[in-house]
Amino acid sequence: MTDAELRAADGRVPGRRGRATRQRLLEQTAGMLRSTSYRDLKVVDIARGAGTSPATFYQYFPEVESAILVLAEEMSQAGSARLSGVVRDGNWKGRAAYDTALAVVEEVMAFWEDHRAVMRVVDLATDEGDQRFRKIRVALLNGLTNALAEVIEAATKAGRHPADLDPMATAGVLVSMLAHVAAHRYGFEFWGIRTDDLQRSMARILYTTVTGQKPPSGA
């Protein structure tokens, strides 16, 4: 959505003051999302917290989820490049490849940590079948998946994987693993499993699955 397309609910084009109010509502939404389960987010609370009324909220967003959607879009835009960049810029040859794999794992975990509140809603809404959030989630993870698939395909051409193994399927599985573990990190910790250990396990799986080789000793 370009700025030019921004419309209030009644079709008016918001001016300076209106966009400031919209922004305050977005920030208030993001803030409350950190401390409140998003199912318990009430329009009236967001509006009052932003110093305005519920009716004003509906002038800028048709529903609460639409406001979160904007936050998610902002996050996705910056995140997509950030995640795939580590894969693309990394060295996937020899021993260095393990360091790259570990860097990828750490970047994914760090990204989830930075955007935990919004990512939780993205995951939830996607699972509930919301196509808008699904689209954002796919866009975010698509870059990472494609980047990994490219590296895997190169290894396949070098004869390190069976030729009939679908690189996109393998990359998709790896991204699923990364996303799910990152999302449930605190579940694991509660269960007595340290994040360090999770990361090392994932880095080894990532390394082996991408390069088709055993992890270097000492990794």
* CB-nearer residue toward a copy of itself: 38 or 58: 38
Residue 133 CB, shortest distance to DNA, in Å, is: 16
* CB-nearer residue toward DNA: 8 or 173: 8
Residue 180 CB, shortest distance to a copy of itself, in Å, is: 4
Partner that binds at residue 157, options a copy of itself, DNA, none, CB closer than 5 to 8 Å by kind:
none
Long-range interactions of 142-149: CB distance < 8 A, separation 24+: 142/80, 143/80, 143/81, 143/83, 143/84, 144/80, 144/83, 144/84, 144/87, 144/108, 144/175, 144/178, 145/171, 145/172, 145/175, 146/84, 146/171, 147/84, 147/87, 147/88, 148/87, 148/174, 148/175, 148/210
Partner that binds at residue 19, options DNA, a copy of itself, none, CB closer than 5 to 8 Å by kind:
DNA
With a CB cutoff of 8 Å and minimum separation 6, the contacts of 207 are 97, 98, 101, 213, 215, 219
User: Residue 57 and residue 43: Cα distance in Å, rounded?
Assistant: 7
- For residue 170, what are its two tokens? 């393998």
- List residues binding DNA (CB under 7 A): 8-10, 12-19, 21, 41-44, 51-56, 58-59, 62-64
Q: From the DSSP assignment, how many helices (H) and strands (E) are in the chain?
A: 10, 0
- List residues binding a copy of itself (CB under 8 A): 37, 39, 120, 123-124, 127-129, 134, 138, 162, 165-166, 168-170, 172-173, 176-177, 179-181, 183-184, 187-188, 191-194, 197-198, 200-202, 204-205, 208-209, 212, 214, 217-219
* CB-nearer residue toward a copy of itself: 12 or 214: 214
- For residue 206, what are its two tokens? 């990532």
Residue 82 CB, shortest distance to a copy of itself, in Å, is: 21
* CB-nearer residue toward a copy of itself: 48 or 184: 184
User: Residue 194 and residue 186: Cα distance in Å, rounded?
Assistant: 9
* CB-nearer residue toward DNA: 42 or 194: 42
* CB-nearer residue toward DNA: 4 or 163: 4
Amino acid at 31: G
Residue 95 CB, shortest distance to a copy of itself, in Å, is: 15
Helix (H, G, I), strand (E, B) or coil at 193: coil
Residue 33 CB, shortest distance to DNA, in Å, is: 14
